């Protein structure tokens, strides 16, 4: 019975850690690439900051080697934390108000969504989560 409880405890810890966001990337001012469910953290001019790539909301971009009437847009959900205060927001790969916004200013930081990879049509669908990443730019205002 004791062995069973030990194995159950180890399995529970392993499962909990596999579902949590990783904190292995360092966040600095400039351009950063984040994998899906990854969080980057660091200090920018004395502020403790974190930027997380939470989810792909939609991706209607025209696939590679296709002819489309509209280029489409990818929208993703992100989270930004400054000194413990968290903001959740969506950004798109293009700006077409009111539905698509490419950048935002939160708590004195401008965050811009540059790209979502892989681009549609360049990876046999669906792309595994480990291959999905967002390229962003963060600058203190």
Domain definitions of the chain by residue range = 21-140
Count CA atoms closer than 13 A to 97's CA, side-chain side.
Answer: 2
* pTM for the structure as a whole: 0.79
User: Residue 107 has what DSSP assignment?
Assistant: T
Domain 21-140 coded CATH 2.60.98: yes
User: Are residues 71 and 61 in contact, defined by beta-carbon separation less than 8 angstroms?
Assistant: yes
The number of beta carbons lying within 10 Å of the beta carbon of residue 48 is 13
**Which is it for strands 85-92 and 103-106: parallel, antiparallel or unpaired?**
unpaired
List, for the chain, all residue ranges whose pLDDT scores fall below the cut of 50: 1-22
């Amino acid at each position: 019975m004791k062995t069973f409880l030990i194995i159950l405890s180890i399995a529970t810890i392993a499962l909990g850690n596999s579902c949590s966001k990783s904190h292995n990337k360092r966040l600095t001012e400039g351009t950063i690439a984040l994998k899906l469910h990854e969080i980057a953290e660091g200090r920018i001019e004395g502020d403790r900051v974190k930027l997380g790539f939470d989810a792909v909301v939609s991706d209607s971009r025209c696939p590679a080697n296709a002819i489309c009437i509209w280029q489409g847009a990818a929208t993703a959900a992100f989270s930004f934390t400054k000194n413990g205060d968290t903001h959740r927001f969506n950004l798109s790969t293009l700006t077409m108000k009111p539905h698509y916004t490419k950048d935002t200013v939160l708590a004195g930081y401008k965050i811009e969504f540059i790209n979502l990879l892989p681009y549609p049509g360049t990876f046999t669908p669906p792309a595994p989560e480990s291959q999905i990443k967002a390229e962003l730019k963060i600058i203190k205002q």
